[in-house]
Amino acid sequence: MTHLECSKCGTRHDAEQIQTVCKKCGKPLFARYDLEAAKETLTRRELVGRVASMWRYREILPVRRPENVVTLGEGWTPLTPTPRLGETLGLKNLIVKDEGIIPTGSFKARGLSAAISKAKELGVKRVALPSAGNAAGAMAAYGARAGLEVYVFMPEDAPKVNAVESDVVGAKVVFVKGLISDAGKLVKDGIPEMGWFSVATLGEPYRVEGKKTMGLEVAEQLDWKLPDVIIYPTGGGTGIIGMWKVFDELEEMGWIGGERPRMVSVQAEGCSPIVKAYKEGKEESEFFENAHTVAAGLRVPKALGDFLILKAVRESKGTAIAVSDDELMADVRLVSRLEGIFACPEGAATISALRKMVDAGEVDRDERVVLFNTGSGLKYTDLFTVKAPVADPKKPFDYGSLR
């Protein structure tokens, strides 16, 4: 890494200092690398023998010294072909990047492994985070491993598991009567008194670096031929922004050409600021009032990187699609039944969106489509009820009723 650069105005910032957002315009900072030097050691042959985690791409990740890497083995998740789901939707080449098997159960682990590692390297001792759910659990786990003090602020109606997983690994949890935006304000207002470093989405430069490794893995796992379409459930947008960023880095290193997948941003109807801005032709989104959806990771009423998400969608000739909670919950069941992947609601939303694209003729039958299942359904058991008969061993059981 050579320096940090504002993603909006280009102002250069020192990467040896703790940084948050651009000092001039307040927008997110991007890490920049000496890609000429990186490609000397990051070679195809070299990759074969490397660790099966996102840290296999260390030349284009921000941590300088290996001993500062805080890892639980995150990344290098399977790219699982889903032929039965594909057939149902009328597609021949459907694949799921399954982030459900990652440490802490969601892809938030990637961003927080990178951000906590870099924070540790820069001497940070105390971190805080507003989170709609999964980021809290991930930060708490990586923070614990790094020996940091961790504070998480989450909406009081965030999935229970996120409070539990944070608490158990030793984070201080605060429930907020409100949304992630309210939690964000509380973290910010606490800085003068508590002196913590906020790891809020795109409020620091390194979570996006962790998340960009999803794009690297998709490229490597498909033998450096990017898919035709990538469908991504979007909250704060770090994943889509990170992938879009790293595709340029890959091109600059000569690993891929100028072709890009169509990037599709999926949101829930109850919280779809990006979809709204996309449809209205705007460069930035507006705050989405009364945001609500069962897909907690998508409940972000205004993303700091909204303009970057919209840019990726437009430049790639992708689209932005909203789906209802009923649709995405039905698709959790569908992909689980057909493929054995118990997806999270956010991940299943990509299926609902894909169905709409197929119906509108926006995807061809032969195109290679990658869906992102961003977390495990096991973190969302609150949302499900099981209708099952009860057997009493003292009485005869009516087996026929099971058919």
Ligand X SMILES: *Cc1c(COP(=O)(O)O)cnc(C)c1O
Binding site residues, ligand X, CB under 6 A: 106, 108, 134, 201, 233-239, 297, 344, 346, 374-375
| Minimum distance from residue 389 beta carbon to ligand X (Å) | 32
Give the nearer residue to Zn ion in terms of CB position, either 22 or 115. Answer: 22
Give the nearer residue to ligand X in terms of CB position, either 7 or 93. Answer: 7
Task: Tell me how far apart the alpha carbons of residues 178 and 181 are, in angstroms, rounded to a whole number.
Answer: 8
| Minimum distance from residue 22 beta carbon to Zn ion (Å) | 3
Give the nearer residue to ligand X in terms of CB position, either 75 or 121. Answer: 75
Residue with tokens 């999803």, as numbered in its chain: 214
Give the nearer residue to Zn ion in terms of CB position, either 237 or 345. Answer: 237
Residue 25 interacting entry, from ligand X, Zn ion, none, C-beta within 5 to 8 Å by type: Zn ion
- Rounded to 5°, the CA angle 52-82-370 comes to 65
Task: Tell me how far apart the alpha carbons of residues 161 and 260 are, in angstroms, rounded to a whole number.
Answer: 37
174: helix, strand or coil: strand
| Minimum distance from residue 103 beta carbon to ligand X (Å) | 13
Residue 344 interacting entry, from Zn ion, ligand X, none, C-beta within 5 to 8 Å by type: ligand X
Give the nearer residue to Zn ion in terms of CB position, either 9 or 378. Answer: 9
Task: Tell me how far apart the alpha carbons of residues 99 and 397 are, in angstroms, rounded to a whole number.
Answer: 40
What's the token pair of residue 242? 């990170």
| Minimum distance from residue 212 beta carbon to Zn ion (Å) | 20
Residue 238 interacting entry, from Zn ion, ligand X, none, C-beta within 5 to 8 Å by type: ligand X
Q: Which of 149, 145, 138 is nearest to 195 (CA)?
A: 149
| Minimum distance from residue 294 beta carbon to ligand X (Å) | 12
- Give strand pairing partners of 368: 93
| Minimum distance from residue 344 beta carbon to ligand X (Å) | 5
Residue 20 interacting entry, from Zn ion, ligand X, none, C-beta within 5 to 8 Å by type: none
Q: Which of 317, 237, 313 is nearest to 282 (CA)?
A: 313
Residue with tokens 């944070």, as numbered in its chain: 166
- Contacts with Zn ion by CB under 5 A lie at 6, 8-9, 11, 22, 24-25, 27
Residue 374 interacting entry, from ligand X, Zn ion, none, C-beta within 5 to 8 Å by type: ligand X
Task: Tell me how far apart the alpha carbons of residues 367 and 256 are, in angstroms, rounded to a whole number.
Answer: 19
- Give strand pairing partners of 30: 5
Give the nearer residue to ligand X in terms of CB position, either 253 or 264. Answer: 264
What's the token pair of residue 339? 């493929």
| Minimum distance from residue 59 beta carbon to ligand X (Å) | 23
The DSSP H or E segment spanning 94 is: strand 93-98
Give the nearer residue to Zn ion in terms of CB position, either 182 or 283. Answer: 283
Contact at 8 Å (CB) between 232 and 350?
A: yes
